[in-house]
Amino acid sequence: MSSARLFRLAARTPSSTFFRASYTARSRVPVLAPASGPAIIALGGAAGFSSTSKCQSAAGQEEETFEEFSARFEKEFDGVQDVFELQRNLNNAFAYDLVPSVGVLTAALKAARRVNDFPTAVRVFEGIKSKVENPTQYEQYLEELKPLREELGVMLREDMYPPEN
């Protein structure tokens, strides 16, 4: 197909019917043929495509309390069977605009031990450090999780790689 013909095809105004490409045996050049399947209705033409998702109304949805959030994620971490599930649940837990509770983090660390994923266990603490508002909150989390951290043998990134001054 020549470039001039291709340009003319591209410059045409969109028609009201859709075409699908079919190939001939000898030329292997797409030939426009009418679609034989069910009719497809274009909503807005080419301008109808978007890279963002549509916003859904939250009118029918109830707000989840922090206790319900914590219970849901503790249950999800208790059912983790592989590294993918663990990391997916951690991403979901840290995606909210809050810091997960100590119970959720305990369940996440135990799940990391169960699937034998040391790096993700270390990353849990990095996630806490990035989510808290100030260093004293991070220290409080470390103090609460210290017995579990020692039991599981999880080191902090700060301990493994001390900051250079």
- CATH number at 126 reads 1.25.40.40
Domain membership of residue 160 (yes or no) is no
Domain membership of residue 20 (yes or no) is no
Domain membership of residue 124 (yes or no) is yes
The pLDDT of residue 41 is 44
Domain membership of residue 89 (yes or no) is yes
Give the residues of the chain that fall short of pLDDT 70.
1-61, 165
Measure the N-to-C terminal CA separation of the chain; round to a whole number of Å: 65
Domain membership of residue 59 (yes or no) is no
Dist CA 21 CA 71 (whole Å): 52
The pLDDT of residue 64 is 84
Domain membership of residue 51 (yes or no) is no
The pLDDT of residue 56 is 55
Dist CA 31 CA 19 (whole Å): 10
Q: Whole domain around residue 74: which residue ranges?
A: 66-155
Number of structural domains found in the chain:
1
Domain membership of residue 47 (yes or no) is no
The pLDDT of residue 39 is 47
The pLDDT of residue 23 is 47
Domain membership of residue 87 (yes or no) is yes
Yes or no: say if 126 and 90 are a contact pair by the CB < 8 Å rule: no
Paired sense of beta strands 30-34 and 19-23, if any:
antiparallel
Yes or no: say if 72 and 89 are a contact pair by the CB < 8 Å rule: no
* pLDDT tens digits for range 79-117: 999 999 999 999 999 998 889 999 999 999 999 999 999
Dist CA 137 CA 99 (whole Å): 10
Tokens standing for residue 105: 């983090």
